[in-house]
Structure 1
Amino acid sequence: MNDKSQLIPAVAVKGIATGLLMMAGFTMIWTGIAFSGLHGTVQAWGLIVFPFLAISFVIKGIKLFGIAKLHPAIESEADKAEGKKMGMWFGIIFGAEGLLIFIAVNVVVNLGHPELTIPAIALVVGLHFFPLAKVFKRTLDYYLATWSTIIAVLAIVFSLNHTLTQAGVAAFTGGGLAVATSCYGLFMMYKGNRLNSY
């Protein structure tokens, strides 16, 4: 264990590991949605990169959980307080996201547009990155929030003006959000490599 790892608490390493596992799951969900729209087409092969990325996120996440025990369990009181505050806000945002997804889906269905379900979910997902950016003080979240929100809004527009079929909307939305979650996962891998450069 090097001097750098002695300064990094285990909870920080486990946090990145957990994030990697979450991004692996979300990447596969959005890839599945994209695949449902592209099923049976040559373009579906373009999605193969996402499962490989998801697998690499899982492998790195498991590795980081193993490495975490080489790091000290102790944190400063300030770090503990900050961690509790971040955890509380993450829980609030995550809970609000779930509630807003439920509301958004019911709104589009009751308005007679069930085909907007996937874009509506994507819109909520995109918007939830904005408060996360503030909580975790990460600029990347603002980029991912903007990207995901634009993808969702375009998907809604393309669906309503019939630019894309329902399958096309699923492919467009799923692919766009899979790019976002993959970028997040790659960022976490980068952070994990910086924490553990051995």
Structure 2
Amino acid sequence: MQGWWGVPLLLVTAFIIGIALFIGGVLLILASRELKNQLSKADLKRGKSKRFWFNIIFVAEVGAIVITVAICNTTRHSELTPLIIAIMRGVHFPPFSHLFQVRLYYFTDTLLCLLAIRTLLFVPEKVTLGEYQINVFMSVVGFGSALIL
């Protein structure tokens, strides 16, 4: 949203969300102190292997996103950036599903990819509301991804 009331509203919203996330993180850290650390050597070995593959997948995803943003900006199609990133975020779930043995991630992958593709095909890029212009691609993919995740 543009205009004199868009920026303060955005800053207040971001600040409130940041405070809520910070408080939630502190509460989780405090609660985790009460957990007992009882792992076998086999569990430790599996954990190291999972961390290794998690890091490989994560680095590949971040690299792909950086390259995609650069290509979108170079070709002057930055409006496609949120859609492509949503597809990449969706595509990274199958390796995690296999790694962590969580079948729900396949469903998450499908929903994120469908959201991005349907947004590209059926939603206008921008909408004008009065004198304000709204980036609909960013809004639909952003809120949709948040709901899916």
For normalisation by structure 1, the TM-score amounts to 0.57
Note if 1:169 corresponds to 2:137.
yes
1:94-146: CA deviation from partner (whole Å, max 9, x where unpaired): 11110000122223333331211121222211111121111111122112111
Distance 2:66 2:122 in 1: 22
Note if 1:133 corresponds to 2:133.
no
Q: Which has the higher contact order (CA 8 A, sep 6+)?
A: 1
Note if 1:112 corresponds to 2:112.
no
Kindly indicate whether the alpha-carbon contact (under 8 Å) linking 2:82 and 2:138 is maintained by their aligned counterparts in 1: yes
The AA in structure 1 aligned to 2:42 is: A
Kindly indicate whether the alpha-carbon contact (under 8 Å) linking 1:126 and 1:146 is maintained by their aligned counterparts in 2: yes
The count of residues paired between Structure 1 and Structure 2 equals 132
Distance 2:28 2:93 in 1: 24
Q: Give the percent of matched residue pairs that are identical in Structure 1 and Structure 2.
A: 28
Write 1 or 2 for the structure with the bigger share of helix. 1
Kindly indicate whether the alpha-carbon contact (under 8 Å) linking 2:79 and 2:125 is maintained by their aligned counterparts in 1: no
Kindly indicate whether the alpha-carbon contact (under 8 Å) linking 2:96 and 2:105 is maintained by their aligned counterparts in 1: yes
Q: Cα 1:154–1:107, aligned 2, differ >3 Å: closer, same or farther?
A: farther
Q: Cα 1:109–1:158, aligned 2, differ >3 Å: closer, same or farther?
A: farther
Alignment of 1:1-198 (within 5 A): 55=20, 58-158=22-122, 163-165=124-126, 167-181=135-149
CA-based RMSD = 2.8
The CA deviation at 1:172 is 0.7
The CA deviation at 1:174 is 0.7
Write 1 or 2 for the structure with the bigger share of strand. 2
Instruction: Report the more deviating stretch, 167-176 or 102-111.
Output: 102-111
The AA in structure 2 aligned to 1:78 is: A
The AA in structure 2 aligned to 1:145 is: D
Bigger-Rg structure (1/2): 2
5+ residue gaps in structure 2? 7-12, 127-133
The AA in structure 1 aligned to 2:31 is: I
Distance 2:23 2:108 in 1: 23
1:40-71: CA deviation from partner (whole Å, max 9, x where unpaired): 89xxxxxx8xx77x93x654443332222222
The AA in structure 1 aligned to 2:138 is: A
